[in-house]
Amino acid sequence: MSADRRSLAAVIERDLQKKFVFLSGPRQVGKTTLARQIIAAMGGQYLLYDDDDDRVSILKKNYVGAGVVGLDEFHKFPRWKHHLKGVFDKHHAHLKLLLTGSARLDVFQKSGDSLFGRYYLHHLHPFTCGELQHGTIPPLPHDPLEPHAALDTLPSLLRFGGFPEPYVGQSDTEHRRWSNARRQLLVREELRELTHIHLLNLVEHLMLLLPERIGSPFSQRALAEDIRVSPPTIAQWMEIFERLFVVFTATPYAKRIARSIQRQPKYYFYDWSQLPDDGARFENCVASHLWKAVQLWTDVGLATLGLHTIRDRDRREVDFLVTRDRQPWFLVETKLAETQIAEPLRHFSARLRIPGIQLVLKENVAKREGNVAVLSANRWLGHLP
């Protein structure tokens, strides 16, 4: 697949025939590029709210007669929801509108949504093995334990991450420069715009401390002591990092699990290439593949999916549990090279009566014992979008 054509393109083009479409995702993940491609293919008009001339045209609603319109960064307008509600109610019969933004467009859904029923929401994620291989959103796997065709994109994804610029460039030097610039952009610009936080140096310090805690049960108190702020402040900052698509969470799953541990979610980076430890980077890469699958399959209506971690007080732990329609669907454990089935994976697979997959970075591994399989990651991740 060419990295120029994202797997969401066909879905967005289809959904634009029915409602407005909102496209949300991390900064520099390719939202603007994708929006421009779709608008150009449909013969429409692209407008950027940050551009002075475009902003005047947007606020005067001069675009409503264009047929197909892309509005980029329009969420920066304080009354954008009220504006769009009026536009939809009056012009939706002949207007196809694609709205993009990096700060989270879906955050307002938590407290009531005046635009309910007027739009579809999609999330654009970094590249994954499946998207680079087949460029489409595949159906839900019938048997999660079945191997997939071997993929050759995983080594480059692990090294450079899935954001388009460093992945396409394949340069260690340019990757470091891009990473440093992106961190400064997030902390110094987006964080300042989105919040009233003034202690930006401390927030950047928190961001630099996170890599060593990725994939582990998260302790707000320990970080608070390191940075010398209160645990509630750490909780607030981590919520902001989620809104800015710096991190996402795998929440603890407790139903049907005796002596489960229900607190301490695990955090993972959208850009897993920032992790120096090989094991943590591989686990985060797999987490990102699963998180993308969970969100995309849910967004397109194939199922209601969730990403969780599972752990009990006997110290048995499996990295990931994917739920389908709020019921356990399958488990995933990550190992760099260990092909002996992890005992916690075997235990929870039997306890929940669901498939368990142990993914290893080592190639040419495919074995199955009952309801548990050990598979090379490059032979399984292709199941996912």
Beta strands in the chain (DSSP E): 20-24, 45-48, 68-72, 96-101, 119-123, 247-252, 266-269, 305-311, 317-324, 327-335, 356-360, 366-369, 372-376
- Of the segments 98-102, 238-242, 372-376, which one has the largest average pLDDT value? 372-376
Query: How sure is the predictor about 283, in pLDDT bands with cuts at 50, 70 and 90?
Result: very high
> Of the candidates 80, 91, 90, 74, which has an alpha carbon nearest to the alpha carbon of residue 35?
74
The mean pLDDT of 205-218, rounded to a whole number, is 82
Predicted TM-score of the model (pTM): 0.92
The mean pLDDT of 59-85, rounded to a whole number, is 91
Exposure of 333 by Cβ count < 10 A (0-12 exposed, 13-18 middle, 19+ buried)? buried
The mean pLDDT of 167-184, rounded to a whole number, is 94
- Taking only the tens place, the pLDDT of each residue in 118-175 is 999 999 999 999 999 988 899 999 999 999 888 899 999 999 999 999 999 999 999 9
The mean pLDDT of 293-321, rounded to a whole number, is 94
CB neighbour list of residue 83: distance below 8 Å, 6 or more residues apart: 59, 61, 77
Q: In the prediction, which pLDDT does 259 show?
A: 55
- Taking only the tens place, the pLDDT of each residue in 343-366 is 999 999 999 999 999 999 999 999
The answer to which of 193-202, 320-329, 367-376 has the lowest mean pLDDT is 193-202
The mean pLDDT of 327-338, rounded to a whole number, is 97
Residues present in the chain in total: 385
Look at 238 and 336; give whichever has higher pLDDT.
Answer: 336
Q: In the prediction, which pLDDT does 74 show?
A: 87
Q: Residue 64 has what DSSP assignment?
A: G
The mean pLDDT of 105-120, rounded to a whole number, is 67
Q: In the prediction, which pLDDT does 104 show?
A: 57
Q: In the prediction, which pLDDT does 244 show?
A: 85
Pair 145, 11: CB distance under 8 Å: no
